[in-house]
Structure 1
Amino acid sequence: MSRIGKAEIKLPDKVEVKQDSTVIKVKGPLGELQTPIFAGLSLKSEGGIVKLERSSEEQNVVALHGLTRALLMNSVKGVTAGWEKNLEITGVGYRAAKRGEDLVMNLGYSHEVVYKAPKGIKIEVIEQVKIKISGIDKQLVGQVAADIRSKRPPEPYKGKGIKYNDEFIKRKAGKTGKK
């Protein structure tokens, strides 16, 4: 029995959940998201509580039960509070700025790196070295943060690059030289 899948989801005020044939639509104060619902699963809603039920005990249905419940919970949190990731830029001369809706970064290359934010994602630059990415879709927020980080990942010798705010960079010792 999937312990995650059988847990109930309490819906906050102003959040509506509806099931179409293959998707669950979650509508809240910040927007609307769609979560896939897989074959063998059904949505049961009573008052302000939503529960996922499965039709069989097959291994793939049991696995998808917990996954779908977690995705649905992420959607509910996204349309009520939203998701955010914070990035930090380290390095001499490395900085970021907003130009319209685009994020423009100087990362030690001979050119500026321009990143266009996808629809539904808000990017803020704080003090030229901190980037805040926010939105209602957890997967998209994480993907945008990973894309921006991949433009200059932190290197292990001096720690220069773009890292997550809570990320620890394992440092290496440099060359010791001849004796």
Structure 2
Amino acid sequence: MSKVGRRSISTANVSVSIDGQNINYKGPQAEGTHVLPGCLKATLEGDQLAISLVNPNDDKNTKFWGLHRALVFNEISGSREKFRKEVKIVGLGFKGILQGNEIVFSLGYSHKINFTLPENVTVEIDKTGQNIVVVSTDKFLAGDVAQKIRALRLPEPYKGTGIRFANQVIVRKAGKTKGDK
């Protein structure tokens, strides 16, 4: 049995309605519909949304239970409050500048890199251009954009320069030293 699937979802500040296999939600930030597979059913009790199995004795469908509960939880949480992923740029002269729907990065290469932002994603960049906050109502999309930005210049272990997540710890390596004889 799924331990994740058993937990109910709070629907405070979000309007939720169930229409067969469709869960319709509308919050202050976003609205949408999540379609459950046929092996799951949703029930709304007060301000708690519960997802359960149609046939609890069928073990092959329990894997969908926890997955769809997590997906619905993220969608409802995103409609209530946007998700934020913080990215830091470390390095002399490394920075990002927001120009319309693109971020122009200077990352020590011989050229600048233009990164186009997808729809439903906004970016906040501080005045130094080294602290970037990716904001979206979709948790996956916010994390995906932050990862794609990080992949432009991965952090290197000797100097620690590159792009990293704000909470990421870079394990530094010792450089070459002159050996004693």
Q: Do both proteins adopt the same fold according to a TM-score greater than 0.5, normalized to the shorter chain?
A: yes
- Does the residue aligned with 1:16 lie in a helix, a strand or coil? strand
% identical aligned pairs:
32
TM superposition shift of 1:19: 4.3
Matched residue type, 2:84: E
Whether contact under 8 Å (2:40, 2:51) holds in the other structure is yes
Structure 2: which 5+ residue stretches go unaligned?
none
Residue 45 of structure 1 corresponds to: 44
Could you report, residue by residue, the CA deviation over 1:80-131 in whole angstroms, capped at 9, with x for unpaired residues?
0110000000011101111112111100011111111100000111131100
- Offset at residue 174 of structure 1 (A): 1.3
Alpha-carbon distance between aligned partners in 2 of 1:160 and 1:89, rounded to the nearest angstrom: 8
The letter for the 2-side match of 1:7 is: R
Classify 1:150/1:20 alpha carbon distance in 2 versus 1 (closer, same or farther; 3 Å). Answer: farther
- Residues 28-56 of structure 1: CA distance to partner in whole angstroms, max 9, x if unpaired? 11012443422300111233221111023
Which residue identity does 1:160 align to in structure 2?
T
The size of the alignment, in residue pairs, is 178
Partner Cα separation in structure 2 for residue 153 and residue 58 of structure 1: 45
Secondary structure of residue in 1 paired with 2:49: strand
CA contact 1:153–1:161 (8 Å) conserved in 2: yes
Match of 1:167 in 2: 168
Residue equivalent to 2:136: 135
The equivalent residue for 2:63 is 63
2:133 partner SS: strand
CA contact (8 A) 2:23 2:34 kept: yes
Instruction: Name the aligned partner's letter for residue 167 of structure 2.
Output: D
Counterpart code for 1:174:
G
Deviation at 1:2, TM superposition (A): 1.5
Deviates more, 1:169-178 or 1:102-111: 169-178
Counterpart for residue 75 of structure 2: 75
Q: CA deviation at 1:158?
A: 0.5
Structure 1 residue 2 and structure 2 residue 30: aligned? no
Residues 8 and 100 from structure 1, CA distance in 2 versus in 1: closer, same or farther, beyond 3 angstroms?
same
Helix, strand or coil at the partner of 2:142: helix
- Contact 2:158 2:175 (C-alpha < 8 Å) held by counterparts: yes
Q: 1:47 to 1:3 in 2, by over 3 A?
A: same
2:71 is paired with a residue whose SS is helix
Q: 3-state DSSP class of the match of 1:142?
A: helix
SS of 2:124's equivalent?
strand
Kindly report which structure 2 residues correspond to 1:79-118, keeping only aligned pairs within 5 A, or say none: 79-118=79-118
Do the aligned residues in 2 keep the contact of 1:33 with 1:137 (CA within 8 Å)? no
Mark the CA change 1:84 to 1:60 in structure 2 (over 3 Å): closer, same or farther. farther
Structure-2 separation of matches of 1:122 and 1:20: 34
The RMSD of aligned alpha carbons is: 1.7
Question: What is the identity, as a one-letter code, of the residue corresponding to 1:144?
Answer: V
- Offset of residue 177 of structure 1: 4.2
